[in-house]
Structure 1
Amino acid sequence: MNQLRNFSVPDFHLPFGNAKHPQAARANEEATAWVVGHGLVTDALEQFSGIGCGHLAGRVSGDVPYERVLLLAEWMAWSFVLDDQHDHLIRNGELAAWRPVVGAITAYLDTGRADERAEGRNSLVNGFVDVCERIVAGMSDACAARYRAHVRLVLRSLDQEAANRRADARPTVEDYILTRRNSSQLLPMMDMVEAGLGIDLPSRITALPEFQEVVASTLDVISWGNDVFSLPKEYACGDTNNLVSRIAARDGSSLGEAVREVETLIQVRIEEYLKAKQQLLDTLEADPATGPALRDEVARCVHTYEDWMIGTELWQRYECTRYSDERFAAGLEGAYTRPDLVSVA
C-alpha cells in the first residue's frame, strides 16, 4: 500500500521575513557551470540546475556582495553532489570507495595542502579543494577553524547515516536528531554567511547554553522540515534517515500520522527558538562585560539563522525542483549522478 498517496507538505508557519539577492538566478547559473567545469556533473544539467543552489544562497546570505553569494552557491552545489554520490555508493554497496575521498578531504582540512595522488583521482576532491581554498581565504583564523571542524562533523555524519541504513542498526529518534544536525550540512554554510557579513563572535558567546540552543533549534527546524519535503524519495528507496520514518517506526503509526507529528514538533521547536533567542539577548543585556557593539553583532548573527529557516522553506517550496521531480519522488537517483565519479580503485 502506498502510504504517501496524495502526499503534500504542510505549511510550517515560520514567523520570519525574507529578502532574496537580486542576482540569485545568475548565481544559480554560474554555480551549475562551476560543477560542470570541474567534471562533477556532465549530464542532465537542467535537472541539476533545478535544485536551485543559487536561489537558496540568495535567500540566506543577507546583504553581502554577489561574489559571496556565488561562493556559497558553489559550495552548496558541491555539497549536493557529495550527498548524491555518497547515496549512490550506499545503494550499490561500494562504500569502500568512500574512504579515499574522506581521507583526501580530511587531509586537506588538516594541512591546507592537497594530496596530489588523491586529488587527481576524482573530481569530487578537486572541486572541494578549489572551493574550500576560496572559502577559508575570506575567514578569520577562528572562523576558518570552526568551518573546518564543521566539515569534519558533516563527513562523520554521512558515515553514521550509511551505518543507519543497515536493517540491524536503525537509530532512535533522539540519536537521529543529533546526527541530522550535522548531516544537514548547514553549519559550514552558516559559517560562510557569518564570515561574509563580517560576524565573528568570540567563543565565550558561542559557548553560552542560550546560544547553543538558538543554533540547535535552528538546525532542527530546517532539518525536520527538509525531512518532510524529502520523505517521498527516501521512503521509496528505503532510506530511513528521516524523522518522519523514525517516528512512525517508534510509534507504530502511519507515515501520514508521523508527518502530522513532525509538523507539530516543528511548531514547538520554533517557539523554543524564539524563547532561546530572547533568553540569549536578556543574558547579554545583563552582562556588564558585553557592550552594545557585541550585543548588536550577536543580534545580527541570530537574524541570519532566521534567514536560514524561512529561506530554506521558501526555496524548497517554490524554487527547488528536487523534491517534486518524478525521479526523486520515485526514489531514483538524480539523472545527473555520475556512477564513475567515485569508484573502487
Structure 2
Amino acid sequence: MAQLDFFSVPDFHLPFGNSKHPQAARANNEATSWALHHELVTDASEQFAGIGFGHLAGRVSGEVPYEKIVLLAEWMAWSFVLDDQHDHLIRTGELTAWRPVTDTITTYLATGRTGAASSRPNPLVTGFIDLCDRILAGMSEVTAARYRAHVPLMLGSLDQEAGNRGNEGQPSVEDYVLMRRHSSQMLPMMDVVEAGLGIDVPPHIHELPEFQALVAASVDIISWGNDVFSLPKEYSCGDNNNLVSLISAWEGCSLSDAVRAVEGRIQTRIEEYLSGKDRLFRVIDARGDVDPAVRAVVSRCVRSHEDWMIGADLWQRYECTRYRDERFAAGLESAYIRPDLVSVA
C-alpha cells in the first residue's frame, strides 16, 4: 500500500456563491439533542456535535424556514450515525446484524409498517421512522417517490462498501464512482432540501438525460472532494472506498500524486457541470412546450445543486471537526460510537 505523506486539501475552485442560515448553530444543537433523545449517541456528544451537521444543513438549504433546517440537520445526524455504525460492524465482522436493521427500514419506507414487533426497536430504526414520517409529510408525491427510491439505493451501497474492504474486493475506479453516488448519501438529502424549497421538478424534465447528467456531476464533485478530506481516516483503517486510494492502487502512483489526480478530475467535472447546465437549458428551451414556471423550478433546482457543491466544501474546511479529529486521522472509531447499537433488541 502506498504511504500517506503530508498533504493539504487543495482549493477546488468552485465558482459558486454561498450563504449560511443565521441559525445554523442552533440547528446543530437541536439535531444533537434529537440524536441523544433517540439514543443514537449516548457518549461524547460534543465530539458528535463537532461534525457540524447543522452548519452543513444551513449552507445547503437556501432560504427554507428554520424548522426545515432542523429536519435536514437531524436527517444528516442520523446518516452519520448510520455510516459510522455500519463501519463498526465491518471492523468487528458483525455484518449479519445489519440486515434486520435495513430490512426494517426499507419495509417501513414501502409500507408504513415495521413488520415483526420488537420489545425495544433499534435506535437507528426508531430514529428513521420519526424522520421519515416528517420528511414524507412535507413532500409532493413526485419527490416522495424519488426519496423512497433513493434510500434503499443508499443502504445497498453500504453493503457494496463492505464487500470492497480488503484487496480482494477492490473495485475499479469506474465501479466505485457509480457506487459513490449512492454511498455519499447525497440523493435523499437533496430530496429533503428540494421539498423544503418547494422544488417539484416534473418527471418529464427530471428524467431528461441532460438533467440526470447534471445531478451526477454535482454528486461526483461533492463526493470526490469528500474523499480527499476523509483520506487520512480511510487510509489509516485500511478502507479502500476512497477515490484517492483507488487511483493510487490502480495507477501505481503515490497518494500525494493521486490527490492531485482527483483534484484534476474535480476541475474537469466542474467544467462538465457548467457546460451541462447550459446544455440542459438549451434542451428545455428547444422543446417549446415547457411552461416558464417549470423552467424557473428547474433553475432553482440547479442553483440548489450549486449550494450543495460549495456549501459542502466550506463546511468541511471550516466547520466540521470530523476530518481534523485525531482519532479519525488515526483510523480509530469515533468516541461516540455505540458498540451495542445495532444489537439492541
Normalising by structure 2, we get a TM-score of 0.98
Secondary structure of the corresponding residue to residue 215 of structure 2? helix
Q: Which residue of 2 aligns with 1:237?
A: 237
- CA shift in 2, pair 1:293/1:80, >3 Å: same
Q: Which residue of 1 aligns with 2:151?
A: 151
C-alpha displacement of 1:344: 8.3
| Letter in structure 2 aligned against 1:303 | R
| Letter in structure 2 aligned against 1:93 | G
C-alpha displacement of 1:2: 8.2
C-alpha displacement of 1:146: 0.6
Tell whether 2:291 aligns with 1:308.
no
Q: Which residue of 1 aligns with 2:172?
A: 172
Which runs of structure 2 are paired with 1:114-193 in the superposition (5 Å)? 114-115=114-115, 117-118=117-118, 120-193=120-193
Instruction: Provide, for residues 57-115 of structure 1, a one-character-per-residue CA deviation record: whole Å limited to 9, x for no partner.
Output: 00000110000000000000000000000000000000000010011101101101233
C-alpha displacement of 1:154: 0.2
C-alpha displacement of 1:166: 3.7
Q: Which residue of 2 aligns with 1:7?
A: 7
1:249 and 1:167 map into 2 onto residues whose CA distance is 10
Structure 2 contact 86–98 (Cα < 8 Å) conserved = yes
Q: Which residue of 1 aligns with 2:269?
A: 269
Instruction: Provide, for residues 136-185 of structure 1, a one-character-per-residue CA deviation record: whole Å limited to 9, x for no partner.
Output: 00001111111011001000000001001143111000000000000000
Q: Which residue of 1 aligns with 2:289?
A: 289
Secondary structure of the corresponding residue to residue 12 of structure 1? coil
Structure 1 contact 114–129 (Cα < 8 Å) conserved = no
Instruction: Provide, for residues 245-293 of structure 1, a one-character-per-residue CA deviation record: whole Å limited to 9, x for no partner.
Output: 1101110001000000000000000000001000001111121111211
1:157 and 1:4 map into 2 onto residues whose CA distance is 26
Tell whether 2:30 aligns with 1:25.
no
Structure 1 contact 28–49 (Cα < 8 Å) conserved = yes
Q: Which runs of 5+ in 2 are unaligned?
A: none
Structure 2 contact 12–263 (Cα < 8 Å) conserved = yes
C-alpha displacement of 1:311: 0.2
Structure 2 contact 142–203 (Cα < 8 Å) conserved = no
Structure 1 contact 96–344 (Cα < 8 Å) conserved = no
C-alpha displacement of 1:118: 4.8
Tell whether 2:127 aligns with 1:113.
no
Structure 2 contact 2–254 (Cα < 8 Å) conserved = no
Q: Which residue of 1 aligns with 2:67?
A: 67
Tell whether 2:338 aligns with 1:338.
yes
Root-mean-square deviation (Å): 1.3
C-alpha displacement of 1:201: 0.9
Structure 1 contact 109–148 (Cα < 8 Å) conserved = yes
Instruction: Provide, for residues 223-256 of structure 1, a one-character-per-residue CA deviation record: whole Å limited to 9, x for no partner.
Output: 0000000000000000000000110111000100
C-alpha displacement of 1:119: 8.1
C-alpha displacement of 1:317: 0.3
| Letter in structure 2 aligned against 1:268 | T
| Letter in structure 2 aligned against 1:128 | F
1:117 and 1:90 map into 2 onto residues whose CA distance is 27
Structure 2 contact 122–344 (Cα < 8 Å) conserved = no
Identical-residue share of aligned pairs (%): 69
Could you tell which deviates more after superposition, 193-202 or 262-271? 193-202
Normalising by structure 1, we get a TM-score of 0.98
Secondary structure of the corresponding residue to residue 40 of structure 2? coil
Could you tell which deviates more after superposition, 75-84 or 279-288? 279-288
Q: Which residue of 1 aligns with 2:88?
A: 88
Aligned length: 345
- CA shift in 2, pair 1:116/1:65, >3 Å: farther
Secondary structure of the corresponding residue to residue 124 of structure 1? helix
